[in-house]
A = this chain, B = another copy of it.
Amino acid sequence: MNPPEQHQEQFMDPSKYLPGVSIDCVVVGFDLEELHILLLKLKDEDLWMLPGGFILLDEDMDQAATRILEERTGIKLPYLAQFNTFGDVNRREKNMLSLKNDTHREFFTQYSAFLEKRFISTGYLSLVEMQNCLPTPDLMSDFCSWKPLSSLPKLLYDHREIVDVAMAHLRSRINYMPVGISLLPEKFTMKEFQSLYEHILHKELDRGNFQKKMLKLNFLDRQEKQLTGEAHKAPYLYSFNEKRYNELVEKGIGYIS
């Protein structure tokens, strides 16, 4: 089954969806160098948007978010957490579609009764391993790709604000979300783990301190050394003890930088 086709088919009948409510997903990935956000490029516009969609009449909102994310990323049961609902009256009054091109005009004319309503949108934050992800455009977009958080393109409506709120949420909830296990590959160096935290917390961390605190929490299993030129300088690789890590995330890891 082709995910975009499936979405397209479903969207053809707006009467199947709850009016006035939508879902926007901030999908975060980490390439060991910087954080990325999954974005869709609107057809024929210099404007990008978050993956999102609507809620079927007989579908729980969380199910809808899972479905939308699966369609856009190919990832089954991605880690998802609702973080905020955006309900300002004028939240769609900036960075609007130009409707200069036929594609959008046709689309919006056809669905105007549904799309012109005021929408309240619930934001979901998803943390995924970029390498497991198959970015897939939707009906309104011609491209789906990862963009570095540090240099995001112009985003539709209030989507930039939605990203910022999501990142603030992630920062303040770093002890309560499976950040490491969701964003890092199976094996990683302490430096990479620290780099992930530095990017999320937006500050440099002391290397010795970070390593000491994290090892003390006892959720890291030390693996072999990373293969590099000089064996004696090679850093150890680590992996997560999944059970222990998930238990800690449940009650709060308790890491303080």
Contacts and interface: CB of A to CB of B under 8 A. Distances in A.
A61 interface: yes
Interface in A112-152: 118, 120, 122
A57 interface: yes
Nearest to A87: B61
A252 B87 contact: no
Contacts of A122: 85, 87, 120
Contacts of A86: 61
Find the residue from A61, A87, A89 having the highest chain B CB count within 10 A.
A87
A141 to B, nearest CB: 25
7 contacts: A19-B19, A20-B20, A21-B120, A55-B87, A58-B89, A61-B85, A120-B120
A60 interface: yes
B20 A118 contact: no
Interface of A: 18-21, 55, 57-62, 64, 82, 84-89, 118, 120, 122, 172-173, 176, 252, 254, 256
A55 B87 CA distance: 9
B89 A60 contact: yes
Given A118-B18, A172-B252, A85 B88 contact: no
A20 to B, nearest CB: 6
B59 A89 contact: yes
A253 to B, nearest CB: 11
A161 B165 CA distance: 25
Contacts of A19: 19-20
A213 B238 CA distance: 33
The 4 lowest CB-CB distance pairs between A and B, nearest first, are A61-B87, A85-B85, A60-B88, A85-B122
A238 to B, nearest CB: 24
A19 B120 CA distance: 11
Contacts of A18: 20, 118, 120
Nearest to A251: B172
Given A85-B122, A256-B256, 13 more contacts: A18-B118, A18-B120, A19-B19, A19-B20, A20-B20, A20-B21, A60-B87, A60-B88, A61-B87, A62-B88, A82-B84, A82-B85, A87-B122
A242 B55 CA distance: 43
Nearest to A84: B82
A114 to B, nearest CB: 13
